[in-house]
Every structure is written in structure tokens, then in C-alpha cells.
Amino acid sequence: MISLTRRLALGLLLAGLAVMFLLAHGSVLLFDHAFRDYLGERLREDAEGIVAEALDEQDRVDLDRLPFRESYSRVYAGSYFSLRVDGGEEIRSRSLWDHRLPNVGEGLAERLLPGPEGQALLVWSGAYSRAGHEFEITTALDYTPVTQRLNWLRLSIWLLGGLLAVLLVVIQQHVIRLGMRPLGRLRSELALINDGHRMKIETQVPEEIEPVVVELNHQLERIEKVLNRSRDGISNLGHALKTPLAVMETLLARRELSQHPELRDGLRNRLDDIHRLVERELQRARLDTRDNSHTTRFHPDTELPPLIDTLGEIYHHIHFDYRIDGVPNALPWDGEDMLEVLGNLLDNAGKWAKSEARLTLSVARGQLIMEVDDDGPGISPEYRDEVIHRGTRLDEKVAGHGLGLGIVEQVVAYHGGEMALADSPLGGLKVRIQLPMPIEEPERQPRRRRRGQKGNKA
């Protein structure tokens, strides 16, 4: 879709060209009309002069006295006259040679008439009575040089008008850019709202678009209220379900059900499905109402060590190691989201690893790369998509509900990232996550490799 700036520029250019075309054409027409009137007066004066020269001092007609100045003497010189006295023979200037001038009646001809050698003639005709004699005279002037000059003038005005229209477009573009600056700030503020940093537009805008901003703020406030109600409702429902679910799990552990293993396993599977559904919806509600202010951003330097220490206490036999390579001080994602992603990945690694789990954070091609490796049994390629998207548990002997990778995939997808499973160089599973970094990144500083924690055996 063509931009508003281009529309305005195209409209101004076309309007400017149209105005210049009309101005050039109108100016030339007015000048032509005025110049013809002026030359018509000159032709009339020439006619009166010729009539006066045709009479001598005794008011007798003496044709030898007629003016044959150079312009009337040279053939087709551009100045012509024809004279008839008392209805007699027509007397023509030598410049006409064998060409005859038409009689156009009294006064100046309304249009140019064809002349010798393709000339366009401006013709004036009149009749005079002098000393008892009747004079019919026609004078003419070659108007072709004037027409040529007027055409040149018209073309010059068109060219200058075109240049002026282009100049006006350039000036208009600059003025539009200045006028659009508040819209640029408005767009930046909308991006902040989209990222969760704000819930209201505070930029001062021109009064023409102020009603739009006011309505946007009203809608944003309404959306925030709806989201908060939805989050609270889902959260309350999820927490209300946890107690009866816990009771049902306790009932499943009773001896009476050991005699019905198929029934017990079927009920346990359905409970696991309910757990996954509740956790997924709670996670979605939290993501939709997250706060991405600077205070809630993820700071790897300060937030990873407690996580590693906690995992080391849980899995005493696993050596957890992590490395941070060229990552910004504060990552532009919610700290709880990042800790939940990394916590689930490292927790899965701790459950399956034999002795080592490793986390690596790095930046490559504008993306944050998070890799978790372990030396466990890994996952066969044919099961990897099923594990990610459905939260399937491949080993029912391991505690849990199969929620880890499913929740991680949901958070990663929400932030526009990708997650993939592969073989780890440690011999087990590698989970690789790529999240697109923002265009403007915070200042970076060199990091030291931090050795992980290994739990002390009790």
C-alpha cells in the first residue's frame, strides 16, 4: 500500500504541474491577446500614414508619394499593404509580390491569416474619406516570429513550473517529516506497550490525532482490566483444582487400587492430563499479563547462581556447569519466564544425567542461544517432537507429570523463538533454544567462566 507521504507528494506534484500548465497557457494567451491589440494599433497607424502620403499639398492623389521603405520593398519582408482609391485598381506593396491580401472588413482580423511563404499574417483593414476620395486599405504584419517566441515562452514556463513543482515536493517532504515526528514517537511508544513496558500512551501528539490517542488509551485500559480478570479467574480456578487433584493422587496410592492396576494406571494418566492442562493455562495466563519492565528483566549474572545451587542440592550426584559468553547484562525478557525455561531444562537434565549437566548462554546472528547438555541416555529422534509438543513422559518411573519441555516450548514460542532437540557431545540430550534479540542491545561487558556446583552427598 502506498504511503501517506508518497500520496501527498504525488498529489502535490500533479497539482503543481497542472497549475503550471494552466498558468503557462493562460499567460501566453493573455500576452498574445495584448500584443495583437498593440500591433493592431500599429497597423492602423501605418494605414493612416499611407493614406496621408497618398495626397499631395493640393489634396490630389499622387501614388508616387506612397511609402516604399525597405520593409515594404523587399519581397516577403513581413510588412505588407494594399490600397484601392475610389474603387480603382488595387495598389500593393512590392513586398507582396504576386500575393493578395484578403479584405477582413473593418478593424483587426480575429485570427491569423495565411500569407506568402507559409507566413501567418496579422491583418487590419479600414476605409477612409479624404479630400473627396475614398480609400480602402489593408495592412498586414508577419506574426510568425512572435508565435515562435510565445511557444518558447510557454515551454520555458512549463520547464520552470516543473522544477518549481519538484522543489515544492522536496519542501513538502521535509515539512511532512517534521510533522510526522510525533507519530514516530507514538510508534516507539506503541512498541513499548507491545513489549509490556507501558500500558498507556503518554506522547504529546497534534490535536488532529489526539482523539485517536485518547481512544487508544481507553481501549488499552479496558484490555488491561479484562486481562487481569482473566488471569485472576484462571489462577483461582487452577489453585482450586490443585487440592482435589492432590486428594485424588493420594487415593490412587491406596492399597485397594493395587488390585486393579489397569484402573489405577488409567486414572493416573487422566490426572496427569489434568495437571498438564491446568499448568498450561496458568502459564498462558501469566504470559499474557507479564510485566517487562527493567526491574523484571532477566539478569544471568545474579539469577543463575541461585538456580544452579538449588539444583545441586536436589541432584547430589550431578555436576552442574554453566557458561555465559558475550551476553548482555540484562536480557529483554521476563526473569520468571527465563528461570522457568532454564529451570525446567536443567531439572530434566538432572533427572536423566549420569554425572554432568551443562548450560551455555551465547549470542549469535542477533539471537540468544541457550543450550543444555547432559550425559544421560538421550531421546531417540522419532520421539523428540512428541516429547516437546505433547509433554509425553517416556519413562513412567521418573516422578512428574511430563510438563517440563511442554511448558518450555510454550514460553519459547510466545517470545518468537525456536526449540530443538539433538544429540549432545556429552553423550546424552542437547536442548537448543534460539530467541531473537532486540535491535538495540544494552552495553555488554566481558564475562568470566563460572564453574557449576556439585551437590554434596548426604
Per-residue pLDDT tens digits for 349-405: 998 899 999 999 999 888 999 999 999 998 888 888 777 655 445 444 444 434 467
Confidence of residue 69 (pLDDT cuts 50, 70, 90): low
pLDDT of residue 62: 64
pLDDT band with cut points at 50, 70 and 90 for residue 448: very low
Residue bearing cell 506574426: 143
Instruction: Answer yes or no: is pLDDT of 145 > 70.
Output: yes
Mean pLDDT of the chain: 79
- Which range among 63-72, 203-212, 263-272 shows the weakest confidence by mean pLDDT? 63-72
Dihedral pair phi/psi, residue 313, rounded to 5°: -70, -35
* Selected residue with higher pLDDT from 350 and 332: 350
Across the range 212-219, mean pLDDT stands at 86
- Separation between Cα atoms, residue 210 and residue 133, nearest integer Å: 86
Dihedral pair phi/psi, residue 26, rounded to 5°: -65, -40
User: CB under 8 Å, gap of 24 or more: what pairs does 193-199 form?
Assistant: 193/220, 195/292, 195/332, 196/290, 196/291, 196/292, 196/293, 196/334, 197/292, 197/293, 197/294, 199/224
Distances, alpha carbon 361 to alpha carbons 322, 325, 358, in Å = 8, 6, 10
CA 46 vs CA 123, 125, 184, 243, 354: distances in Å: 12, 11, 72, 120, 122
| Between 112 and 235, residue with greater pLDDT | 112
Question: Are 422 and 406 in contact, with CB atoms under 8 Å apart?
Answer: no
What's the chain's Rg over C-alpha atoms?
Answer: 49
Q: Pairing mode, if any, of strands 319-325 and 356-364?
A: parallel
Per the structure block, which three cell numbers stand in for 238?
A: 487452577
Q: Please tell me the distance from the alpha carbon of residue 353 to that of residue 257, in angstroms, as a whole number.
A: 33
Q: Is the pLDDT of residue 451 over 60?
A: no
> Grid coordinates in use for 185?
514517537
Residue spans of the domains in the chain: they are 4-148, 196-289, 296-458
CA distances, 205 to each of 187, 197, 244, 362, 369 (Å): 11, 20, 54, 41, 40
Surface-to-core class of residue 140, CB atoms within 10 Å of its CB (0-12 exposed, 13-18 middle, 19+ buried): buried
- Are 36 and 108 in contact by the 8 Å Cβ rule? The answer is yes
Q: Which three cell numbers stand for residue 201?
A: 500512551
Q: How many CA atoms lie within 13 A of 432 on its CB side?
A: 12
Residue 280 is predicted with a pLDDT of 65
Query: Quick one: cell of 66?
Result: 506612397
Asked if pLDDT for residue 255 goes beyond 80, the answer is no
In the numeric block, the cell 544494552 is attached to: 442
The pLDDT value given to residue 357 = 93
- Homologous superfamily assigned to 296-458: Histidine kinase-like ATPase, C-terminal domain (3.30.565.10)
Angle at 299 between CA 298 and CA 301, to 5 degrees: 150
Q: Show Cβ contacts of residue 76 under 8 Å, excluding neighbours closer than 6 positions.
A: 95, 97, 116, 117, 119
Question: What would the grid cell of residue 174 be?
Answer: 521535509
Q: Which CATH number fits domain 196-289: 1.10.287, 1.10.12, 2.60.40, 1.25.40?
A: 1.10.287
In the predicted model, is pLDDT for residue 124 greater than 70?
Answer: yes
φ, ψ of residue 452 to 5 degrees: the values are -80, 180
Predicted local distance difference test score (pLDDT) of residue 394:
45
- Domain 4-148, CATH 3.30.450 — does that match? yes
CA torsion, points 156, 162, 167, 171, in degrees to nearest 10?
Answer: 140
Nearest to 296 by CA among 258, 339, 353, 250: 339
C-alpha cell at position 285: 495466563
Q: Give the residue-averaged pLDDT of 89-94.
A: 81
For residues 430 and 425, give the distance between their C-alpha atoms in angstroms, rounded to a whole number: 8
Lowest mean pLDDT among 14-23, 386-395, 436-445: 436-445
Helical residues (DSSP H) of 64-208, grouped into ranges: 70-73, 144-195
| Burial class of 168 by CB neighbour count within 10 A (0 to 12, 13 to 18, 19+) | middle
CA 262, 266, 271, 273 torsion: positive or negative?
positive
Task: Give yes or no for a contact between 315 and 348, defined as CB atoms under 8 angstroms apart.
Answer: no
Q: How far apart are the first and last CA of the chain?
A: 68
Tens digits of residue pLDDT in 160-184 = 888 888 888 888 888 878 877 877 8
Tell me how long the chain is.
458
